[in-house]
Each structure stands twice: as C-alpha cells, then as structure tokens.
C-alpha cells in the first residue's frame, strides 16, 4: 500500500491506531477477509508513520491478548520487546492478518500452551504465517487446476507433504539426496498428477 493511499484511508498515526485498535480483532475473524482487505503491512506502517509505528500499534494488541489470557506475568519490557520482534520478523504481514492472528489465538485455534508468554506468541505466529502461506499457495494452485505429488510406490502409497505446481519440479525433487548420507530422500517413489476441482 502506498504512503499516500495509507494516509488517505487511515489518516495520521493516532487515527490509524484508533481505526485498527484491538477491538478490530473480532472484525477480522474470517481468514479470507483478513488476507483480501486493503490494509497495510507492518512494514508499510513503519515506513509511513515512523520506525516505531508498527511496534506502537502492536503493543496494545499484545496487552489485549495478555488481559484476555489473564497473563499477569508479562512485563511492559517483555510486551515492548515482543512487539519489536514481531514488527521486524513479520513485517510482511498485513495489519488485518495480524488482527486475524490475535483473534485466532484468543479463540484457542493457535495457542501452543495454556500460558501466554512472548515465546508462545512468537511460535504461534510462525505457525500462523506458515499456514497462511500454505493457504495462499493452495489458492493460487486452485487457479492452475492441477498439482503434482510425490507418492511411494505400492503397496505403501504414502503421500509426502510436498506439492509441486509443475511435473518437472516434482521429478527434480525425486532426485534430491540427503546431504549427509547421500541417499535419495524419496526412494521408491513416483510423481502423481492430481486435478483440483
């Protein structure tokens, strides 16, 4: 999102902080809405409003999560450091996606433990981003119409977790070898085409 576009939609920093406050988390309960709505990335926020702007926006989001989870153990320093880390490590996420993450965390879909800590938030956010990337990737594949999978030869027929857009890439992956042992990673396997409807 361009700087002028962002300021036109959200106004100055104070206005931006009000429009996408923690109360907006519930408005982003739907994944498709979160990824498709016109919101800036965390990096866009920092570039537009100043280098600490994304951190300043994230702090109230984290405080809201801590209050929700009754995490009285989080210090102000931990909250600020966590916000700084998220602003750097996840700068490519849109604000709407981060709101969706906090909504999912609060609804119990992402929490890796019963206590809220900086590490549980970071680990959950990494998992969230990985799932988000996979969903976006599969959405792009659905437009292609077919994918290629690596499958063990009969009788096991185990399907490996890797999916490829082209047959050539899948066949190239069949030849990959373990760096230490030099053995093929996918012995006795073949490539299968799957049509996505």
pLDDT tens digits along 67-103: 998 888 889 999 999 999 999 999 999 999 999 999 9
Same domain as 128, residue 110: yes
Same domain as 182, residue 119: no
Same domain as 163, residue 70: no
Which residue segment(s) compose the domain that 25 sits in? 3-141
Query: Which pTM does this prediction carry?
Result: 0.70
Query: At 26, is the pLDDT very low, low, confident or very high (cuts 50, 70, 90)?
Result: very high
Same domain as 36, residue 127: yes
Residue pair 38/1 in contact by the 8 Å Cβ criterion: yes
Strands laid side by side in the 189-195 sheet:
159-164, 146-152, 189-195
Same domain as 17, residue 95: yes
Same domain as 156, residue 179: yes
Tens-digit pLDDT profile for residues 97-130: 999 999 999 988 876 566 788 998 998 898 888 8
Query: At 138, is the pLDDT very low, low, confident or very high (cuts 50, 70, 90)?
Result: low
Same domain as 50, residue 35: yes
Same domain as 79, residue 10: yes
Same domain as 9, residue 102: yes
Q: Last residue of some domain: 100, 119, 141?
A: 141
156 vs 64, which has greater pLDDT?
64
Same domain as 115, residue 30: yes
Same domain as 29, residue 49: yes
Instruction: Name the domain count of the chain.
Output: 2
Residue pair 80/117 in contact by the 8 Å Cβ criterion: no
Residue pair 74/119 in contact by the 8 Å Cβ criterion: no
For the chain, the helix, strand and coil percentages under 3-state DSSP, each to the nearest 5? 55, 10, 30
User: What is residue 17's predicted lDDT score, i.e. its pLDDT?
Assistant: 94
Q: Last residue of some domain: 125, 141, 157?
A: 141
Alpha-carbon 80 to chain mean position: 21
Same domain as 31, residue 103: yes
């Amino acid at each position: 999102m361009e700087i002028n576009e962002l300021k036109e939609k959200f106004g100055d920093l104070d206005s931006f902080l009000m429009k996408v406050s923690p109360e907006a988390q519930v408005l982003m309960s739907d994944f498709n809405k979160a990824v498709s709505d016109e919101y800036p990335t965390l990096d866009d926020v920092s570039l537009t409003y100043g280098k600490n702007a994304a951190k300043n926006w994230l702090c109230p989001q984290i405080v809201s999560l801590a209050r929700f989870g009754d995490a009285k153990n989080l210090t102000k320093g931990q909250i600020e450091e966590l916000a700084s880390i998220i602003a750097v490590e996840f700068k490519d996420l849109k604000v709407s996606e981060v709101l969706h993450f906090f909504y999912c965390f609060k609804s119990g879909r992402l929490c890796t433990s019963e206590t809220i800590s900086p590490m549980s938030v970071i680990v959950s956010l990494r998992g969230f981003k990985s799932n988000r990337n996979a969903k976006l990737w599969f959405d792009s594949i659905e437009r292609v119409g077919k994918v290629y999978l690596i499958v063990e030869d009969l009788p096991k027929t185990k399907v490996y977790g890797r999916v490829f857009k082209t047959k050539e890439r899948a066949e190239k992956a069949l030849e990959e070898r373990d760096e230490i042992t030099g053995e093929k990673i996918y012995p006795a396997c073949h490539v299968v085409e799957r049509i996505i409807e």
